[in-house]
Structure 1
Amino acid sequence: MTSTPTTRNPPTSTASSLLSVEGLRVAFPGRRGAPAARAVDGVDLDIGRGEIVALVGESGCGKTTLARCLLGLVPPTAGRVTFDGAPLPRSARALKAYRRRAQLVLQDPSGSLNPRHTVYDVVAEGLRIHGHAGDERTAVAEALSRAGLRPPERFFLRYPHELSGGQRQRVVIAGALVLEPELLVADEPVASLDASVRGEILALLLRLRTELGLSALVVTHDLGLAWNIADRVAVMYLGRIVETGAVEQVLTAPRHPYTQALLSVLPEAPGAPVVLSGEPPDPSHVTAGCRFHVRCQILAGGEAERAGVADACRHRELEILRGGDAAQVACHWARAEQPAAGTGDAAVGRRPN
C-alpha cells in the first residue's frame, strides 16, 4: 500500500444496493466427461449506490468470470443477480437495455480499441448500437471531456496508435461513460499502464464516482490499487469470497491467512513475505474442508492445530459469506482466534450452502 487512502464514502447497506448477488455459481463443462470446472462456486455480493468495491485475488480465482456474469456475458449455472431491485434479464433485448446501465472497462485498451476506428467512432459506437436519439457529437464530446481528454474535439480524428497508453484507457472509459451508466465493472483497469499513469486513472474513477454517483466493481490482483480506490474489498479464492469488509479494516488487520499472504508481499509490509506453496487447486477438483487448507501457512505452521481447528480446516467446508457490508471471514482459525470485536456471529454472516 502506498499513501494515505483517498477519502471515501461510508459503506452502504444492503437495502440500498444497486447490484446484489446471491448464491451465484458458474461452472464450465469438462472435456470428455471430466468434472465441471466450478469457476464461481457460491458468491454473495452487494454493491451500493455510489460505492466502489474491489474484488481481489490471484489469477484463476474466478474474479473475471464473476465480473462477466454480472454483466450478462456469462450465464450463471445457479443463483440470482439483481440490479436496481429487478432480476438480471436473460433475453437479448432486455440485456441490451441493461448494458446501457452497466458498462465494462477492459484491462488492455490496445486490445479493446479497433485500430481502424477513430476516437470519435470508438466512443460513438455505443450510442449507435443503442439507438441514441440526441446529438451524437455533443454526447461524444462530453464523454471524452469527462474522461479527461480535453479539448475533446482535438481527439475526434485520432486513431488509437496515435495515443499514449493512458489516453487509450481514457478513450475506453469515455466509451463506457457515453451511455451514462450507473455501474462500471473495471477488469484490471490500470494493469497495463505505467506506474506514473495509474494514479491519474484511479483519480479519474474516484472523480467520476463523486461527480456522477457511479458505482464500480474493480477487479484486480493489486491490493495497493484496492487500498487507494475502494470503499470495500472482497478477497476471492477458488471461486468463493473468503474475506470481505471495509478496505481499511481488511487491509490493515486481515483475518484470513490468504489475505495475510497477499499483503505480505507488498513492499511496505512488515516481516518476511509469505510464500504460498503450489498453485491454486483445480476448480474441477475442489478438495474437502477449507478451500485454502492445502496451501495455508497457518495450518502448515501448526497454529491451526494449537487452536483446535486443524481437523475442521481439512474436512469441514465453510459456509458462503453473505452479502452486505459487515466484516466477514471464511476461516476456521480466524473465527477461533480472532473474533470480530463487538460483532459476534453477525460479522461472520454465515449462510447454508
Structure 2
Amino acid sequence: MTLSPTAPEVGTAPLLSAQGLYVTFPGRHGGPPARAVDGVDLDIRPGEIVALVGESGCGKTTLARSLLGLVEPTAGRVAFDGRPLEYSGRSLKAYRKRVQLVLQDPSGSLNPRHTVYDAVAEGLRIHGFAGDERTAVAEALSRAGLRPPERFFLRYPHELSGGQRQRVVIAGALVLEPELLVADEPVASLDASVRGEILALLLRLRTELGLSALVVTHDLGLAWNIADRVAVMYLGRIVETGPVEQVLTTPRHPYTQALLSVLPEAPGTPIVLTGEPPDPSRVPSGCRFHARCQVLAGGAAEAAGVADACRGRDLPVLSGDGRSQVACHWAASHAPLGGAGNRATRHSPLGDGPQGN
C-alpha cells in the first residue's frame, strides 16, 4: 500500500473513527464518576497524521487507549475501516495487528532480557506468522533505520542508545505491517538531537508505506513538525481542531492560545493559566474552560455579550471530519484572524522554519 505523502482531502473515508465516545471511571469514595473522555468524535484518514495535544490529565491517553481497544468506551463506538470495533478476544487480536502502539519510554517497552531480534519477532509469534521470521525482522529493523539489521539481532536494550531503542520499538510495530500507529509521546524521553531523527522516520514511513498515525503529545512544536491535523483536548473533550498550520498560526480557542503563548519561541506575552484543570468528576457547567479563561477574566467575553453563555451554556461536541472547528462561545462571535498559509512554504510561529511533509 503506497499513498501520497501529502495529507488526504477532507471527505476521504476515515480509516479509524470515534463517534460520540465517552469513557468514565468510578468516582472516589462513591462520588460521581470521572468523565475521562466526555464526548469525542475523531476521524483519522488513510495516510494522515493527527496530533492530539493538551495538558497532562486532559484525557488524551485514555482516548488513545480506547481507540486501541485497551479501554472499552462507556458509550459511543470506535470503527476501523468502516466496521465497528468488537471487544471479543479474537476480534481485538486481529484489530491490534492492523493498529499498533508505540509507547513513550523505549526502555520500559523492551524486556531487558530479550535481544533485539526477539523483541521485534514477538508480535510475529503472538499472531502466528507463517512466513520467514528472520527476513521479516530484518526488513522491519531496516525500515526503522537500524542498518545493517543483522548487526542488531543479538544486542540487548542496554547496549543501545535511546534513539536506537525507540527505533527497535518502532520496528516491533512495523513487523506486523500495520495500517495505523498510535504513538504516545514518541520522543518525550529522547535527547533533542535524536527527536528530529525519529520524527523524520515517522514521516518517511507515512510516505513509503502509507501509514496513518495518531500522535499523542503535549508538545505543540512536535505537532507542528509532524502532523497534518491537530486536535486540542481539554477536560475530556476536543475544543479546537483543524489543519495544523491553521490551528497553530491562528488559534481561536483561548486554551489553544494559552498553550502556544508559553512556548519559548512564541512572540508576545505568555498567558499563564490560573489553577489546575477541574476534576473530571465535576465538569463545570457551560464552557468547561471558563473558570481559567483569560478572555472571560479580562472582560472580552462580556464585551462580546457571551459571558453568560460561557458560564452556563454547554457547547456541542465537535465533529471528527477534519474541518476547522472551535468549541468556544467567544470565538464563535469573532471571525478568525489571518489565514492558514501555504503548507509547502509555511513558517512556524515556534521558530522551526519551513516544514514540508
Please state how far the C-alpha of 1:337 moved relative to its aligned partner.
1.6
8 A contact 2:98–2:179 mirrored in 1? yes
- Inter-partner Cα distance in structure 2 for 1:90 and 1:110: 29
Structure 1 equivalent of residue 81 of structure 2: 84
Q: Which of 189, 202, 205 is 1:205 aligned to?
A: 202
Please state how far the C-alpha of 1:31 moved relative to its aligned partner.
3.0
- Inter-partner Cα distance in structure 2 for 1:77 and 1:30: 14
- Inter-partner Cα distance in structure 1 for 2:24 and 2:194: 36
Q: Which of 71, 74, 86 is 1:74 aligned to?
A: 71
SS of equivalent residue, structure 1 residue 190: coil
One-letter amino acid matched to 1:13: V
8 A contact 1:12–1:51 mirrored in 2? no
Matches within 5 A, 1:113-128: 113-128=110-125
- Inter-partner Cα distance in structure 2 for 1:107 and 1:119: 18
Structure 1 equivalent of residue 319 of structure 2: 322
Structure 2 equivalent of residue 42 of structure 1: 39
Structure 2 equivalent of residue 102 of structure 1: 99
SS of equivalent residue, structure 2 residue 19: strand
**What percentage of aligned pairs have identical amino acids?**
83
- Inter-partner Cα distance in structure 1 for 2:8 and 2:299: 36
- Inter-partner Cα distance in structure 1 for 2:7 and 2:141: 29
One-letter amino acid matched to 1:39: A
8 A contact 1:57–1:235 mirrored in 2? yes
Structure 1 equivalent of residue 350 of structure 2: none
Measured on the aligned residues, the alpha-carbon RMSD in Å equals: 1.4
Q: Which of 128, 131, 136 is 1:134 aligned to?
A: 131
SS of equivalent residue, structure 1 residue 217: strand
8 A contact 2:250–2:337 mirrored in 1? no
Q: Which of 42, 55, 58 is 2:55 aligned to?
A: 58
Give aligned pairs, total: 336
Once the two structures are superposed, what CA deviation does each residue of 1:250-282 show, in whole Å capped at 9, x if it has no partner?
A: 000000000000000112211111000000100
8 A contact 1:13–1:325 mirrored in 2? yes
SS of equivalent residue, structure 2 residue 272: coil
- Inter-partner Cα distance in structure 1 for 2:207 and 2:276: 39
One-letter amino acid matched to 1:298: V
Segment of structure 1 superposing worse, 304-313 or 11-20: 11-20
Matches within 5 A, 1:271-290: 271-290=268-287
Structure 2 equivalent of residue 221 of structure 1: 218
Segment of structure 1 superposing worse, 209-218 or 9-18: 9-18
Once the two structures are superposed, what CA deviation does each residue of 1:49-73 show, in whole Å capped at 9, x if it has no partner?
A: 0000000001000000000100100
Once the two structures are superposed, what CA deviation does each residue of 1:201-223 show, in whole Å capped at 9, x if it has no partner?
A: 00000000000000000000000
One-letter amino acid matched to 1:177: L
- Inter-partner Cα distance in structure 1 for 2:338 and 2:23: 34
* CA 340–328 in structure 1, closer or farther in 2 if over 3 Å, else same: farther
- Inter-partner Cα distance in structure 2 for 1:259 and 1:196: 27
8 A contact 1:185–1:216 mirrored in 2? yes
- Inter-partner Cα distance in structure 2 for 1:306 and 1:8: 45
8 A contact 1:103–1:183 mirrored in 2? yes
Once the two structures are superposed, what CA deviation does each residue of 1:57-93 show, in whole Å capped at 9, x if it has no partner?
A: 0100000000010010011000011100100111011
Once the two structures are superposed, what CA deviation does each residue of 1:216-256 show, in whole Å capped at 9, x if it has no partner?
A: 00000000000000000000000000000000000000000
One-letter amino acid matched to 1:43: V
- Inter-partner Cα distance in structure 2 for 1:8 and 1:266: 29
One-letter amino acid matched to 2:128: G
8 A contact 1:256–1:330 mirrored in 2? yes
Matched, 1:187 2:174: no
Dislocated runs of 4+, deviation >2 Å = 10-15, 338-342
8 A contact 1:19–1:47 mirrored in 2? yes
8 A contact 2:252–2:326 mirrored in 1? yes
Structure 2 equivalent of residue 310 of structure 1: 307
Matches within 5 A, 1:190-269: 190-269=187-266
Q: Which of 5, 18, 28 is 1:31 aligned to?
A: 28
* CA 340–323 in structure 1, closer or farther in 2 if over 3 Å, else same: farther
Structure 2's unaligned 5+ residue stretches are 340-357
SS of equivalent residue, structure 1 residue 17: coil
- Inter-partner Cα distance in structure 1 for 2:70 and 2:18: 15
Structure 1 equivalent of residue 154 of structure 2: 157
Structure 1 equivalent of residue 333 of structure 2: 336
- Inter-partner Cα distance in structure 1 for 2:224 and 2:254: 18
What is the TM-score when the length of structure 2 is the normalising length?
0.92
Structure 2 equivalent of residue 349 of structure 1: none
Please state how far the C-alpha of 1:9 moved relative to its aligned partner.
1.6
